[in-house]
Structure 1
Amino acid sequence: MKAIWNNQVLASSNKTEVVEGNHYFPPAALDMQFFKSSDKHTVCSWKGTASYYDVTVGDHVNEDAAWFYPDPKSAASNITGYVAFWKGVQVVAD
Structure 2
Amino acid sequence: MPTATLHGTVLAHAGDDEVVRIEGNVYFKPSTVRADLLEASPTPYTCPWKGVCQYWSVRDGDTLLADRAWSYPEPYPGAIERVGTDFAGWVAFWKEVEVS
Aligned pair partner of 1:17 in 15, 20, 23:
20
Mapped to 2, the partners of 1:65 and 1:45 lie a distance apart of 20
Mapped to 1, the partners of 2:99 and 2:58 lie a distance apart of 14
- The answer as to 2:82 corresponding to 1:79 is no
> Contact 1:4 / 1:10 at 8 angstroms: preserved in 2?
yes
Question: C-alpha deviations, 1:18-71, integer Å up to 9, x for none?
Answer: 011111000000111111111012111110110111000211221100000001
Mapped to 2, the partners of 1:75 and 1:86 lie a distance apart of 25
- The alignment of Structure 1 onto Structure 2 pairs a total of residues equal to 92
Give me the TM-score of the superposition, normalised by structure 2.
0.86
Give me the TM-score of the superposition, normalised by structure 1.
0.91
| Unaligned residue ranges in structure 2 (runs of 5+) | 81-85
Percent identity, aligned pairs only, is 37
Higher strand share: 1
Aligned pair partner of 1:66 in 64, 69, 82:
69
* Cα RMSD (Å): 1.0
